[in-house]
Structure 1
Amino acid sequence: MSSSHVKVHVMRHGEVENPERIVYGRLPEYHLSALGQKMVRMSAEEFKRMSDEGANIVYLAMSPLTRTRESAAPITELLGLEGHPDERVIEADNHFEGLHVNREEILKNPRHWPHLLNPLRPSWGEPFTHQAHRMAEAIKDAGAQALARGGSGAEAIVVSHQLPIWMARRSAEGKFLPHDPRTRQCNLASITTFEFDDLWSPQRPKISYKEPAAPLYSGVIQLPGS
């Protein structure tokens, strides 16, 4: 094992209370629903199980938004880790933030048309390349923090949002960033793990994925900007 072997577990937040189906993006004060709280508890319990079985989880970072702070709370409770806010793992910026999710209404309004011209960038929000870059920096830094605290083999947790996590994964796997949103493998409270044999090497990390909260997914509506 390399002296800089490290794992960074990137967890998505749980379900948000959003009965009006707003694209909430970076808007403040969108809280986890009761079901979302159960989801993140299940993921925190998975981290606790890993820790009890020998995983050296020593660092916790999170997006500064309400829903990610609430998602990190049970990890702090069960593992005793202080949460460190990191702006680099925040939700992607989105022109449609604050609007109802209604495709027909969006297409009817001419003011939205310039933001729909280029889905490969995308033209409606933060470029995919920018998301991938900031996430890669934050993941590497979380790994460095884990190494500083726990040495080789240490592990970190980062709590973030679906699209930035998916961009980080596609970039790490060397895949094109433009994609069909329906193909994202990044469900609520899921854990995408980046394992670096050598954190400072240009070698791509190994990627693994798990869904501790899968039993709670039935009937859940997932929206963009989450």
Structure 2
Amino acid sequence: MDAWDTDAMVTTTVHLLRHGEVHNPGRVLYGRLPGYHLSERGHEMARVVARALTDQGRDVVGLVASPLQRAQETAAPIAQAFGLVTGTDERLIEAGNRFEGTSVGSQPWRLLNPRWWPALRNPRLPSWGEPYREQADRMQAAVQDARIAHAGHEVVLVSHQLPIWVTRLAYEGARLWHDPRHRQCTLASLTSLHFADDVLAGIEYTEPARRLSASLSKGAWSVK
């Protein structure tokens, strides 16, 4: 997006932070299942993001996370770095998914078993889980509340890949159905929404933990 004129405007930034790598040796599509925590590398990713925000002198005065453990753990180093208490917002939770709990290993085509066909009938909705529109609506409502509560400052919302990505698409006015392989939302990445007053003036995408993300196994199908 184009740069914006901040004269006489209240500028607020809402950072949408994807959680770090999860400990998941069984390669389960865990979705909203409890008990999935960050791996050691995931904790390091979270620390890297916190350091990046502090090194950049970010004016972070608010921190809210999805209720899921991996998001809460990702928020922890930021809370410590900025002296904040992490709030919890159900609207930031992972997308609902009927494949939740399925172990697919590195072979996503296992989901093409005939018993799953009814759930795959409409990928544009998608028919296997929470509709994209509903995800974007709840996320945008959370962003709006965070923007108002922390007007003139910066706030971090810790969420999950799909909800963050469809929220970005919604703000950009793009269609919400998409090829998952083309999502620009790596682990521990920041999708930063810059507002001038109540108008979205720019979207910035950064990967503070890029080095750690790049060290992940290439070609393995992501279930995060």
The letter of the residue matching 1:219 is L
Give the C-alpha shift of residue 215 in structure 1.
Answer: 0.7
Answer yes or no: is the 8 Å Cα contact 1:172–1:205 preserved in 2: no
Q: Could you say which residue in structure 2 is the equivalent of 1:103?
A: 108
3-state SS of 1:130 partner: helix
CA distance in 1, matches of 2:101, 2:47: 28
Residue identity opposite 1:114 in structure 2: P
Pick the aligned partner of 1:70 from 73, 76, 79. Answer: 73
Identity, in percent, stands at 47
AA in 2 matched with 1:162: Q
Distance 2:121 2:49 in 1: 38
* 20, 27, 30: which one aligns with 1:14: 20
Q: Quick one: distance in 2 between partners of 1:222 and 1:68?
A: 21
Partners of 1:124 and 1:27 in 2: CA distance: 16
Distance 1:67 1:205 in 2: 30
Corresponding residue number in structure 2 for 1:116: 120
Secondary structure of 1:216's counterpart equals helix
Within 5 A, what are the aligned runs for 1:149-168?
A: 152=152, 154-168=153-167
Supply the distance in 2 between the matched residues of 1:205 and 1:185 (Cα, whole angstroms): 19
Corresponding residue to 2:52 among 32, 36, 46: 46
Pairing 1:134–2:130 present: no
Deviation per residue, 1:102-129 (Å, 9 max, x gap): 4333222x33111001000000100000
Q: Which residue of 1 aligns with 2:180?
A: 181
- Kept in 2: contact 1:92–1:163 (CA 8 A): yes
Q: Which amino acid counterpart does residue 121 of structure 1 have in structure 2?
A: L
Q: Between Structure 1 and Structure 2, how many residues are aligned?
A: 213
For the residue of structure 2 that corresponds to 1:143, the secondary structure is: helix
Q: Distance in 1 between matches of 2:201 and 2:93?
A: 22
RMSD (Å) for aligned C-alpha atoms: 1.4
Matches within 5 A, 1:195-214: 195-199=194-198, 201=199, 204-214=200-210
Q: What does residue 216 of structure 2 align with?
A: 219
Which AA in structure 1 matches 2:103?
Answer: H
**Unaligned runs of at least 5 residues, structure 1:** none
Per the TM alignment, residue 48 of structure 1 is displaced from its structure 2 partner at its CA by: 1.1
Change in Cα spacing, 1:22 to 1:60, as seen in structure 2 (3 Å) is: same
Q: Which residue of 2 aligns with 1:31?
A: 37
- Alpha-carbon distance, 1:222 to partner: 5.8
Per-residue deviation at 1:34?
0.4
Contact 2:108–2:221 at 8 Å: present in 1 too? no
Q: Counterpart in 1 of 2:93? A: 90
Contact 1:23 1:223 in 2 (8 A): no
| Secondary structure at 1:95 match in 2 | coil
